């Protein structure tokens, strides 16, 4: 039975970098955010429901209008939850089908809000990626051409590292890439050991 490993961390912590290192070790990785975006463009059911929720502006020429939706949900928890209720179940069933196709002792699912949406309960192990807040801020501002207030607002909506660490099996501090790679290799070995026991 393939074990499920959740990979999470606050915005700018470097989840994607860590996921890439696991991939280099041959571990299948599912990026929930990318899959959600793909499904929002591909699924007629999601499209219909999102248009009902946000109006016709939700899609521009058959493509998800991400900027418009981001603006709508930015300070509206209710709208964000309504959108997640449409998208998350579809992503969850897509993930299940994906897992069944993998031939590996364990797979990784990278998701930003594993704890916030309660989905952490379905994983065998959780890895949390951390980095000091000022480093995360700089990374996101540089990556998304964003401003400090916007990034801080997103951070405020996410659980703190302390909260996540309490519920995690492994923690990777992602400041120095070489160190991060070493941590990934160690955790990979530990998980392989743990999965071979079951």
Give the residue numbers of the binding site for ATP.
12-17
| Cβ-proximal residues to 108 (8 Å cutoff; 6+ apart), any chain | 5, 6, 7, 19, 22, 27, 28, 29, 30, 127
Scanning the structure block, which residue is given the tokens 């607002």?
153
CB 160 within 8 A of CB 117: no
| Cβ-proximal residues to 82 (8 Å cutoff; 6+ apart), any chain | 53
Scanning the structure block, which residue is given the tokens 């909506």?
157
Beta-bridged to residue 128, according to DSSP, are 8, 171
Using alpha carbons, select from 131, 114, 112, 115 the residue that is nearest to residue 172: 131
Annotated binding residues: 12-17
């Amino acid at each position: 039975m393939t074990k499920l490993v959740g990979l999470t961390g606050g915005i700018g912590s470097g989840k994607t970098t860590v996921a890439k290192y696991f991939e280099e070790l041959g571990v299948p990785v599912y990026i929930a955010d990318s899959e959600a975006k793909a499904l929002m463009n591909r699924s007629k059911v999601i499209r219909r429901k999102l248009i009902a929720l946000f109006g016709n502006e939700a899609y521009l020429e058959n493509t998800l209008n991400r900027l418009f939706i981001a603006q709508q949900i930015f300070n509206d928890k209710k709208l964000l939850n309504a959108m997640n209720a449409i998208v998350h179940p579809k992503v969850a069933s897509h993930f299940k089908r994906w897992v069944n196709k993998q031939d590996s002792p364990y797979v990784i699912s990278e998701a930003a809000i594993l704890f916030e949406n309660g989905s952490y309960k379905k994983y065998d192990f959780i890895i949390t990626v951390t980095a000091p807040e000022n480093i995360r801020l700089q990374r996101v501002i540089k990556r998304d051409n964003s401003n400090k207030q916007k990034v801080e607002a997103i951070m405020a909506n996410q659980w703190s590292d302390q909260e996540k660490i309490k519920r995690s099996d492994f923690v990777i501090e992602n400041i120095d890439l070489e160190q991060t790679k070493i941590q990934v290799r160690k955790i990979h070995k530990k998980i392989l050991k743990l999965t071979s026991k079951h």
